[in-house]
Amino acid sequence: MAGLVIEALVKIGLNQEEVLDGPIVHTNLPWQIPPLVNEAEIFGVPFSAYIDIPTFVNPEQLCLLWSDSLSFMRNKPDKVLTHAGYINASYAIPYVRTPERQLHLSLPDGFPGGVTDYAGVTLSLECAHLLKFNARIKEFVESEDDYFAILEDGTEVGVKGGLPTLWAEEWDLPVNGMVQEMLRTPRGAVWEGCDYDIIAKLRSVAHEYRDKMRAFEAVDWCLQTLRVIGGARELLLAVRKIKAVSYARAMRQRQLREAVEIANKVSLTDRQRLDALKGILVPEVISTAQFSKLVYPYTKVPPPMLADKVLFRIKEAVQKLHDDEMLIYGPKGTL
């Protein structure tokens, strides 16, 4: 995720000095945990795809956490919660670091003094979301009123008819017609302030250049996520690589431009053409396996002259490699 932020800054032409020098201008930004469903795109990929990575979930322990929390959270929140999150989260998602668990099971807004009326619904949505992507389930139901997984034993986990499918009497404020909106709503308490660290500095820089950054929303969520998971060191290491990232991206684009020229050069035999394309593209731009799949079988010796339709396909493939790169990473591309 730190790498995505750096790619975004490189794309708008910032260098290491411009990123690090000067004061933190925006010191009172709101910070929160990202929504479960986040369609803001960066490099053509929705932000949610970077969060919904495969995670080992113990369905039995997750259901136990969910049931106990719905039962106690409203009146005795300290029985199931600490400032680090749900007490039994380490059993439900055991291979996830403590701070990263907040991305899956957020600390409810209002804790420790209490929790909001929608805390039960939010937790239910989070549990259903975890099961949807990481467990063997019988069925998943989703609508404006529903978002729940049906486990193989028939247990329904999530929100049904606007209320949690368990302990609904404890959480009797239905969210009918609001489920999809809640999935796309930031979670947990809002904190406004500044940690005066590298994450706060880069988020301030992103806000300064937001009009130049097409993927600003996704970059902003990357930085808020890095704060949640304690990613300051990761981000600092990535900042130190800005020059290398910028150079590598420029070299890759130059190589792809050269590849397009070679693919269309009439003075070469097709065998010379493919040998030159291998030298330019492999391994700096694509792997041998990708070359075989996209361009021409890497180990096969081509004839001096290829069939017209084969040569046309090669030219198209090389042009597409170039165009895709420029569309996403080029100066005027879509971030």
Task: Find, among 155, 152, 98, the residue nearest to 127 by Cα.
Answer: 155
Domains of the chain by residue range: 59-183, 246-329
Please give the Cα distance from 164 to 172 (Å, whole number): 9
Rounded to whole angstroms, the Cα distance separating 80 from 86 reads 6
- The side-by-side arrangement of strands in the sheet containing 163-164 is 137-142, 147-151, 156-160, 163-164
Burial label, 301 (beta-carbon count in 10 A; 0-12, 13-18, 19+): exposed
The pLDDT score that the predictor gives to residue 220 is 98
Name the nearest CA neighbour of 1 among 208, 244, 285, 221: 221
Provide the H-helix boundaries in 41-148.
Answer: 47-51, 59-72, 89-92, 101-104, 119-134
The pLDDT, as a whole number, for residue 331 is 62
Q: Each residue's pLDDT tens digit in the chain (335 positions)?
A: 899 999 899 888 898 998 999 999 999 999 999 999 999 998 889 999 999 999 999 999 999 999 999 999 999 999 999 999 999 999 999 999 999 999 999 999 999 988 999 999 999 999 999 999 999 999 999 999 999 999 999 999 999 999 999 999 999 899 999 999 999 999 999 999 999 999 999 999 999 999 999 899 999 999 999 999 999 999 999 999 898 888 888 898 999 999 999 999 999 999 999 999 999 999 989 999 999 999 999 999 999 899 999 999 999 999 999 998 887 777 644 44
Cα separations in angstroms, 21 against 2, 233, 266: 19, 18, 50
Instruction: Give 172's contacts (C-beta < 8 A, 6+ positions apart).
Output: 163
Task: Give Cα 90 distance to the centre of its chain.
Answer: 22
The predicted structure's pLDDT at residue 315? 95
Contact of 6 with 199, CB cutoff 8 Å: no
Task: Note the pLDDT of residue 176.
Answer: 96
User: Which pLDDT does position 248 carry in this prediction?
Assistant: 86
Global pTM reads 0.81
Question: What is the structure's pLDDT at 329?
Answer: 73
Long-range contacts of 259-267 (CB under 8 A, 24+ apart): 259/285, 259/318, 259/321, 259/322, 260/318, 260/319, 260/322, 262/318, 263/314, 263/315, 263/318, 263/319, 264/315
User: What is the pLDDT, as a whole number, of residue 334?
Assistant: 42
Q: What is the pLDDT of residue 172?
A: 87
Spatial distance between the Cα atoms of 284 and 268, rounded to a whole number of angstroms: 23
